[in-house]
């Protein structure tokens, strides 16, 4: 069977029949428990829901049910997804969802075995975060037109994301009350509802003060709006809209599209701190990573940067 494109798979997913009531109830019961017990982020819950529903529909078409699936069914489904061109990362997420689902069934006493027990996760290619050079960051930050309210907002957003290493989702949902300019700190609620305090540099504070004094009142009008960053209609830009802004300003700054990503400023924040001698555990706290191993990938980026500098400037490089 030839592989299918992501667009074809999305189209096919919208044409699927509804789930059997038993499977739909089992999935929602599991997700409710996962949210209540572990505080899992809504984006993760939505991904798990899609993955479990997809497997349940496939099982239903073969006369089975999600909750009664055995190891052979899982093997067959993963083999099908591999033939259809699903990425190893997508299959790894599906396996994570299935493991959590069947572990929940075991705890409830609804099953006596775990069909995922002997399934090995697919090997994921190691992709390094794409960090911009410091000169590229300077060009990107200077790209917005600060003479307009939206341009001043964009400059403040970029400065804050780079100064605090925020995720895009954290940036666009920041309430105005999270910012304390007098103390120079930002309170961020990250994945799983975990809270962290991040210090702000003088440059970020300067642009935030300008945004709050000059641009936000014009964007908010007389409405008492809670979010820190607003659009012309009084609503915050979405993650997708922020990504479009980054691409537009990157083009104006002469940065190649492949050199930028939605989290490019966050990745650059982490890499530049390590390049200048920051402690890895301190960086973990600033980024809000629950595991140090997640933060350690930035050491590979910093090492790659040093190797390039050595090759370029050492007389025997």
Distance, in Å, from the CA atom of 169 to the CA atom of 171, rounded to the nearest integer, reads 6
Catalytic-role residue among 50, 191, 206, 239: 191
* Residue whose entry in the numeric block shows the structure tokens 């008492």: 224
Q: Is 298 a catalytic residue?
A: yes
Burial class (CB in 10 A: 0-12, 13-18, 19+), 162: buried
Q: Is 266 a catalytic residue?
A: yes
Catalytic-role residue among 59, 105, 155, 266: 266
Distance, in Å, from the CA atom of 288 to the CA atom of 263, rounded to the nearest integer, reads 14
* Residue whose entry in the numeric block shows the structure tokens 């605090």: 164
User: Phi/psi of residue 228, each to 5°?
Assistant: -70, -50
User: 14 CB contacts (<8 Å, ≥6 apart)?
Assistant: none
Q: Is 167 a catalytic residue?
A: yes
Q: Is 249 a catalytic residue?
A: no
Q: Is 263 a catalytic residue?
A: yes
CB atoms within 10 A of CB 259: 13
Say how many CA atoms lie within 13 Å of 274 toward its Cβ: 26
In sequence order, what DSSP letters do the residues of 276-289 get, joined into one string?
A: TT--HHHHHHHHT-
- Answer for the pair 263, 129: CB distance below 8 angstroms, yes or no: yes
Catalytic-role residue among 104, 155, 167, 216: 167
CA torsion 224-229-232-236 (nearest 10°) is: -90
Q: Is 267 a catalytic residue?
A: no
Catalytic-role residue among 59, 104, 155, 263: 263
Distance, in Å, from the CA atom of 117 to the CA atom of 71, rounded to the nearest integer, reads 8
Which helix (H) or strand (E) covers residue 95, if one does? helix 88-108
Q: Which residues are catalytic?
A: 167, 191, 263, 266, 289, 298
């Amino acid at each position: 069977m030839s592989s299918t494109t992501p667009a074809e798979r999305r189209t096919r997913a919208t044409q699927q029949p509804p789930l059997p009531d038993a499977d739909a109830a089992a999935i929602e019961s599991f997700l409710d428990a996962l949210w209540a017990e572990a505080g899992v982020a809504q984006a993760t819950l939505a991904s798990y829901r899609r993955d479990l529903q997809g497997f349940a529909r496939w099982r239903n078409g073969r006369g089975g049910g999600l909750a009664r699936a055995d190891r052979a069914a899982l093997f067959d489904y993963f083999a099908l997804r591999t033939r259809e061109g699903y990425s190893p990362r997508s299959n790894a997420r599906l396996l994570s969802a299935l493991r959590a689902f069947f572990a929940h069934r075991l705890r409830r006493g609804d099953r006596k075995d775990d069909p995922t027990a002997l399934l090995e996760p697919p090997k994921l290619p190691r992709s390094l975060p794409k960090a911009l050079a410091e000169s590229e960051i300077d060009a990107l930050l200077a790209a917005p037109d600060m003479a307009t309210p939206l341009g001043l907002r964009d400059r403040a957003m970029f400065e804050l994301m780079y100064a605090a290493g925020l995720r895009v989702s954290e940036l666009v949902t920041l309430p105005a009350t999270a910012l304390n300019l007098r103390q120079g700190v930002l309170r961020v609620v990250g994945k799983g509802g975990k809270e962290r305090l991040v210090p702000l540099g003088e440059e970020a504070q300067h642009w935030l003060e300008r945004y709050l004094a000059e641009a936000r009142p014009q964007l908010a009008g007389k409405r008492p709006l809670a979010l820190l960053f607003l659009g012309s209609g009084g609503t915050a830009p979405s993650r997708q809209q922020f990504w479009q802004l980054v691409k537009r300003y990157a083009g104006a700054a002469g940065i190649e599209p492949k050199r930028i990503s939605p989290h490019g400023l966050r990745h650059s924040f982490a890499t530049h701190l390590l390049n200048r001698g920051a402690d890895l555990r301190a960086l973990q706290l600033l980024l809000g990573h629950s595991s140090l191993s997640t933060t350690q990938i930035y050491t590979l980026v910093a090492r790659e940067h040093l190797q390039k500098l050595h090759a370029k400037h050492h007389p025997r490089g």
